[in-house]
Amino acid sequence: MIGLWLLACGASGVDSAGPPVDSVPAQAEPLPPLHEPLDAPRLLRRLSLDLRGILPSVDELDRVQDDPASLAVLRDAYLEDPRFEERLATLLSERWHTLIDEFEVEYFDYDLDSELEYAFERAVGQEPLRLMARVAASDRPWSEIVTADWTVADTLLEGIWPLDRDPGEGWQVARYTDGRPAAGVLATNGLWWRYVTNTGNQNRSRAAAMTRLLLCEDYLARPVSFEGSVSLVDEDGAADAIRNEPSCQACHASLEPLAASMFGFWWLAQYSALEMTTYHAEREPLGPEILGVEPEWFGTPIAGLADMGSEIARDPRFYACTAESMAGLLWRRPVALSDFERIERFRRDFLDSDAQLKALIRAITDDDEYRAGVADPAEPDAHTTRMITATQLDSLVEELTGFRWTFGGYDLLLNDTSGYRVLAGGVDGYAVYRPQQIPGLTWTLVVRRVAEAAAAHVVAQELMGGERHLLCCADMSLGPEDAAFEEELRHLHWRLFARVPAEDRLDRDAALWRAVNDEFGAGFAWQALLTGLFRDPALWVY
């Protein structure tokens, strides 16, 4: 992976003198434009979907249409929008995979009502994501995600975990009261409930997960072969091999010392809420004892999890990995070796800003790769179009129309137990690890049903005298012969697609309306037209 390339300089964390910041000259020439960029309105649309999960307003689109230079101002405003934090948490979930539908402890273990099952699952999985998003949204150095002595929690978590939570609705800063160390996400239940271990694994899998997520170092990408090892069939064979076999030591020499600092989360009973809720400080000394190594961060002795957070915060790989992973999340594609130079610039900007994630996001979204609208012929395979994700679908539709697809306490676009998250191309963090990038049959089907539901809702609410969310001018009495009808169409095209419709397109829309109206009346005609507009690929592809 590209992360390995970036640490070819051999930064091990022992020397905290910093990254090779001079690898890119201070006065570097800008990279040549890569692709034909999106026009300002559609770029704003892309930014709004990526940073807020909703479409830009008409006013915002008008503004950038008139003054493309205002794009940066609006982008920065999006970074300050309250929705940014939630959107960032969702974006990070595509990598951190904590929004799973089932944990080893379930809602009934806390005597919660069954109607809170989904809320429970999401609250647990969101904890580490919201912590990270809060760090970014509140302009704190990104390193605080591994050094914070706080977490965030909603009222549900406050009621079941040992937390001292600031008052207020929603996600508030909270502190665990069970003596766990200050290590940001590394000290959250939400992370370790996802990345479990057992008495035999002894936190090794967690150590591997941590390095993959924070350093882009994937131990498990290396083949694990027992060929040529000493006999592993003997009772002590595995333990001996881990400590003495060179092929095993290639990973375990650095993995064991990481795992040795995690024994406060080493549970002695699986599926036990009692065990999994609190931190077990008395087990910290067992790590070095059982694993036979002292806690270390890649050769640097550490005092435990809190020290590990500090070492991560000073590890150049952490920032390189952040740059690489954020680029991938915002580009909506895996990074490649050819992206190295770009990502190095992002990393530099990130460090220059004292590790402000917003600065990194600005760097990425200012870059041509993000803004690409049409691929340069020299790079025909460039990823210039993106497919909306299940989470964007959910938030976009709700903001646009007021319709949110929930049932029985579940967000149907955001879960797989009864919902359509994976079918809509989403990540479940358990069997599907990457969002879908090309439309498939089920994605199209989900989009269709959401569009139908949203259109029906708009008709039922807005055209029957209810509060207006989406429509500007339409009512049941209007038809294509009315100027307000065309005004509504133009408004919808602008709002939904950030495009000015051509006349033939308007004619086509009107034809659809007429065809249905002639058979079934205005209400159905508007429903059909809105459904058609909501199913227009221009809405779901950006």
Q: Where in 131-190 is the site for other proteins (CB under 8 A)?
A: 141, 143, 147, 178-179, 181
- In the structure encoding, which two tokens stand for residue 17, read together? 């003198």
| 196 HSE (CA, 13 A, CB side) | 20
Q: Which is nearer to other proteins, 275 or 475 (CB)?
A: 275
- The DSSP secondary-structure symbol of 268 reads S
Distance separating alpha carbons of residues 24 and 137, to the nearest angstrom: 28
Residue 133, classed as helix, strand or coil, is: helix
Q: Are 30 and 341 in contact (CB under 8 A)?
A: no
Residue 172, classed as helix, strand or coil, is: strand
Alpha carbon of 183 to those of 15, 128, 207: distances in Å? 21, 11, 14
Distance separating alpha carbons of residues 4 and 430, to the nearest angstrom: 25
Q: State in angstroms the smallest separation of the CB of 70 from other proteins.
A: 26
For residue 176, the cross-strand partners are: 163
Q: Which is nearer to other proteins, 68 or 373 (CB)?
A: 373
Region near other proteins per CB under 8 A, out of 61-69, 81-89, 125-133, 347-355: 347-355
Q: Which is nearer to other proteins, 190 or 435 (CB)?
A: 435
Q: Which is nearer to other proteins, 173 or 512 (CB)?
A: 512
- Site residues for other proteins, 42-101, by CB under 8 A, read none
Q: State in angstroms the smallest separation of the CB of 490 from other proteins.
A: 17
Q: Which is nearer to other proteins, 74 or 492 (CB)?
A: 492
Options 83, 314, 468, 499; binder of other proteins; rule CB under 8 A: 314
- Site residues for other proteins, 460-489, by CB under 8 A, read 460
Q: State in angstroms the smallest separation of the CB of 72 from other proteins.
A: 24
Closest to 280 measured CA to CA, from 181, 159, 203, 153: 181
Write the DSSP assignment of 328-340 as a string of letters. Answer: HHHHTS---GGGH
Options 118, 171, 405, 494; binder of other proteins; rule CB under 8 A: 405
Closest to 476 measured CA to CA, from 457, 497, 491, 459: 459
Q: State in angstroms the smallest separation of the CB of 384 from other proteins.
A: 4
Q: State in angstroms the smallest separation of the CB of 310 from other proteins.
A: 5
Residues 6+ apart with CB under 8 A from 224: 251
Number of residues that bind other proteins (CB under 8 A): 135
For residue 37, the cross-strand partners are: 372
Determine if residue 518 is left, alpha or beta; phi over 0 gives left, psi from -120 to 50 gives alpha, anything else beta. alpha
Options 58, 113, 466, 520; binder of other proteins; rule CB under 8 A: 520
Q: Which is nearer to other proteins, 60 or 384 (CB)?
A: 384
Q: State in angstroms the smallest separation of the CB of 168 from other proteins.
A: 26
Q: State in angstroms the smallest separation of the CB of 66 from other proteins.
A: 25
- In the structure encoding, which two tokens stand for residue 354, read together? 């004292």
Closest to 129 measured CA to CA, from 147, 150, 151: 151
Q: State in angstroms the smallest separation of the CB of 286 from other proteins.
A: 6
Q: Which H or E element spans position 205?
A: helix 204-215
Q: Which is nearer to other proteins, 226 or 340 (CB)?
A: 226
Q: State in angstroms the smallest separation of the CB of 290 from other proteins.
A: 7
According to the binding rule CB under 8 A, does residue 355 interact with other proteins?
A: yes
Write the DSSP assignment of 207-227 as a string of letters. Answer: HHHHHHHHH---GGGS----T
Q: Which is nearer to other proteins, 62 or 234 (CB)?
A: 234
Single-letter code of the amino acid located at 466: G
Q: Which is nearer to other proteins, 14 or 72 (CB)?
A: 14
Closest to 109 measured CA to CA, from 119, 125, 120: 120
Q: State in angstroms the smallest separation of the CB of 138 from other proteins.
A: 14
Q: What angle do CA 252, 255, 257 make, to 5 degrees?
A: 110
According to the binding rule CB under 8 A, does residue 278 interact with other proteins?
A: yes
Alpha carbon of 31 to those of 24, 218, 367: distances in Å? 12, 30, 9
According to the binding rule CB under 8 A, does residue 330 interact with other proteins?
A: no
Options 217, 296, 344, 394; binder of other proteins; rule CB under 8 A: 296
Region near other proteins per CB under 8 A, out of 51-59, 117-125, 168-176, 288-296: 288-296
Q: What angle do CA 189, 192, 197 make, to 5 degrees?
A: 140
Q: State in angstroms the smallest separation of the CB of 55 from other proteins.
A: 18
Q: State in angstroms the smallest separation of the CB of 152 from other proteins.
A: 21
Options 37, 68, 159, 334; binder of other proteins; rule CB under 8 A: 334
Q: State in angstroms the smallest separation of the CB of 467 from other proteins.
A: 14
- Site residues for other proteins, 207-266, by CB under 8 A, read 208, 220-227, 231-233, 235, 238, 260-261
- Site residues for other proteins, 406-465, by CB under 8 A, read 406-408, 412, 416-420, 422-423, 431-434, 436-446, 448-449, 452-453, 455-457, 460
For residue 164, the cross-strand partners are: 175
Q: Which is nearer to other proteins, 72 or 140 (CB)?
A: 140
Order across the sheet with 172-176: list the strands: 151-153, 172-176, 163-165
Q: Which is nearer to other proteins, 35 or 165 (CB)?
A: 35
Region near other proteins per CB under 8 A, out of 26-34, 52-60, 120-128, 529-537: 529-537
Q: State in angstroms the smallest separation of the CB of 59 from other proteins.
A: 27
Q: Which is nearer to other proteins, 456 or 484 (CB)?
A: 456
- In the structure encoding, which two tokens stand for residue 143, read together? 């390193």
Residues 6+ apart with CB under 8 A from 233: none
